[in-house]
Structure 1
């Protein structure tokens, strides 16, 4: 199925065609829903999804992205996320989850964060009403294909939006790269400076220089952009 999907994806030229292919993928995987949602560096958004329009409109009207644990987790992480492993204990989160389930989203979900060129961010999610045991088996058996599919869809969305999925890469100096690499590995600024045998002030200069080159809002954003652009090896 993966090979056939990729072949069909190569022929897609419009966002409408991409959405139709996502619907077909949903049917092929026999799950309730699939969502691909992309946000570029300037805040422009695009989504290919199978949710009912009423739920999509409700989500946007209520700005549920502010309280949605899935969205928040995908912004902070790089690895696949099972929805049930997230914190739904807050009142707003519990209310949101109940409304989502009532709207047919499903009680199970699995999301893949995607970081593309020039600060682009996307997430790819599948959801269903399977039992915990069946869902665990399904995700374990399909995670590798889902990873590939999510990135192929993201690549195609970038091609449709920009005419290409390539972006001009920023060039960082060796010291700027070292500084961001240390932070990406979880080092504090003090530990990073010590490891690089430089002062914290000098480290801050390198970090700020890299942040400027990457057009990042803050240090965390700079690290994310450098990782997405393949400038860091962690």
Structure 2
């Protein structure tokens, strides 16, 4: 498990870097701190351009791009449908293309275990922060239990820094949300339960429900998930 000092060093380095290249060195340090084989940040900006920072073998990244594996990668398709982090074992690997993709990834040393944090920003920006390793299921489950919150935080810090390199983005205009409404949607969006959100904000679940319903009305959303999605697309919430 990372110490607070180690985590603070990673987050401070992310805040300080001024170049896209600087992210590569930081992601390499994450592997050392967490004692894992690989870490990867994949960012699709609002113009549809792809960026990769990570420790996978160059041959695997090239093969991934050449064969357009984004179309069949269960991690990409699975995370695109979710707001919450995903353990790769929970994804659907049953199709033949998915099994062949997994085998190719293993041959390039990606690892049999993985954990990905889906992140969404304004105007269609989408990113994945992933870590992977080769180990038994029980060891990986213990690793995720101990480190998931730190990994989620690091993933969102990576994305916040990446968004700084899109200075001309213009979020859609919408009725503004109050600070409490923004806090509620942000925490729900990164995977907190309603009880956890209420505790974090030091409010009752009844009061939390009032904030959520108010935000939903302002955003013209059908439900809470829709409200989170709309807030993200408008640039109000970054998760």
Relative to the length of structure 2, the TM-score reads 0.74
Aligned residues: 195
* Higher RCO (CA-CA < 8 Å; seq separation 6+): 2
Mark the structure with the bigger radius of gyration.
Answer: 1
Residue number in structure 2 paired with 1:105: 110
SS in 2 for 1:71: helix
Distance 1:79 1:95, change over 3 A: same
Residue number in structure 2 paired with 1:189: none
Residue number in structure 1 paired with 2:82: 77
Is 1:34 matched up with 2:39? Answer: yes
Distance 1:184 1:14, change over 3 A: same
Tell me the distance in 1 between the aligned counterparts of 2:119 and 2:50. 14
Deviations along 1:109-162, one digit per CA (max 9) or x if unpaired, are 000000112221101000000110010000111011111100111111122x13
Deviations along 1:22-57, one digit per CA (max 9) or x if unpaired, are 111111111111010111222012111110110000
Is 1:171 matched up with 2:170? Answer: no
Q: 1:173 deviation in Å?
A: 9.6
Unaligned 5+ residue runs, structure 2? Answer: 1-5, 178-213
Distance 1:168 1:94, change over 3 A: closer
2:122–2:235 CA contact under 8 A, matched in 1: no
Tell me the distance in 1 between the aligned counterparts of 2:45 and 2:216. 24
Write the mapping of 1:151-170 to structure 2, written as runs, cut at 5 A: 151-159=156-164, 161-163=165-167, 168-170=171-173
Residue number in structure 1 paired with 2:66: 61
Distance 1:114 1:185, change over 3 A: closer
SS in 1 for 2:118: strand
Tell me the distance in 1 between the aligned counterparts of 2:119 and 2:225. 19
Relative to the length of structure 1, the TM-score reads 0.75
Unaligned 5+ residue runs, structure 1? Answer: 187-221
Residue number in structure 2 paired with 1:117: 122
Is 1:46 matched up with 2:51? Answer: yes
